[in-house]
Structure formats: C-alpha cells, structure tokens
Amino acid sequence: MTTKFSRLVRGSATVLAVAAVGVGATAATASAAGSGTGTGTAKAKKSVSRCHTGELTAGWGSEGGGRPDMDSVEQQTVTMSLKNSSKRTCTLHGFPGVSMENTLDAKHPMDLRRSASKPVTVTLKPGTHTSFTMRILPVPKGQTGVKKVAPGRVLVTPPDEKAHFTLKWPYGGAIQDQSGATHPGTFVNPIGVG
C-alpha cells in the first residue's frame, strides 16, 4: 500500500506543479497583455528630432542678460538666444559654430573655439527659447600691442546644421584675437550651458 500511496502523492504533486505553472504563465501573459492595452491612455513616445536653422530665430541677449563692457580689461559674457519659431517640438544638442567677421581685416575672421563644458540636450517646444554664451576678452580703447578683431557681423550655425544666421554685432569695440591661443579667453559654450 505504501507504493500505491507514494505514486499517488507523486502524481498529485506533479499535477499541482503543472497547474501552478499554468496559472503563473496565464497570469504573466495576462499581465503583459494588460500593460499594452486598457483605457487607451498609454501612447507611444514620438521621436523628437533636432531643430533646423530655418525653424529658429536668433537674437542678442536673454532673460537677465546684459551688455558686455567693451572697455573692460576683464573677460565678458555675451549671450545669444535661440527661439523655436516652428510649430513642432525639437531639440538642440552641442556647440554652435560662431565666426566673427573682422572689420579691421576682412580676410581674417575669428572662429570661436569651444569651451571644455559638456553639452546637454535642450528640448524646445514651439515658441520657447534657450541661449548660449560666448566669453570674450575686450580690447579697451587706446590699448596697443594686442592683435584684435573688430566684429562687424557674427555668423552663428546651430549644432549639426550647415545654414547659419548672420547678425550685426551690436556692442562695438574690439576683441582680442585668440585664434592661435592654446587656452583662449574668447570661446563659445554649448547651447543651454553657462
């Protein structure tokens, strides 16, 4: 009788184990199926692509930004804003290209070097804006012995774009030409950073 009882217990345990696995699989399947269905409130995330030059409006300054003192011997900050003028949300990530046309020597514009700051991704909804800064070393009036650039127009290319904005330099004065410097005091920061 013990042999029959052992077989009965083993058989019952097998049936229970199969039933438990079956119930578990059904619950897991129902749970997985339930997460993708329901009231219809869950939506697939739409991919947001980068902002293109034609979708942006550029201008000088930003909220809380001031004018650089072009007669200072100290490093100054210049801020430029970029507004999403399109009807879609888009992103900016990286450094803008900045080239300053030199009214003292048209053949030698100054391309600003990049800072060591890490870029971040900035998401712009329609009508919103972000900014980036340029750090510059002005040349005070009367200072001699310094190679300088007197900006006339500034060409700004958003990250990963080929088309650029052309803006008139509104601050006058001159900037130290830092083209060949190992650690220039005139540089551009990433969009949305410093």
Task: List domains and CATH numbers for the chain.
Answer: 53-188 (2.60.40)
pTM beyond 0.75: no
Buried-exposed string 47-58: b where 16+ CB fall within 10 A, e elsewhere: eeeebeeebbeb
pLDDT exceeds cutoff 60 at 48: yes
Convert the pLDDT of each residue in 55-67 to its tens digit: 999 999 876 567 8
Provide mean pLDDT across the span 164-190. Answer: 91
pLDDT exceeds cutoff 80 at 142: yes
The secondary structure element, H or E, covering residue 37 is none
- Provide the pLDDT for residue 65: 63
- Provide the pLDDT for residue 68: 93
Q: Which amino acid is located at 93 in the chain?
A: H
pLDDT exceeds cutoff 70 at 103: yes
Give the residue, 25 or 43, on which the prediction is more confident.
43
pLDDT exceeds cutoff 60 at 1: no
- Provide the pLDDT for residue 143: 87
Tokens 């080929």, residue located: 162
Provide mean pLDDT across the span 156-176. Answer: 96
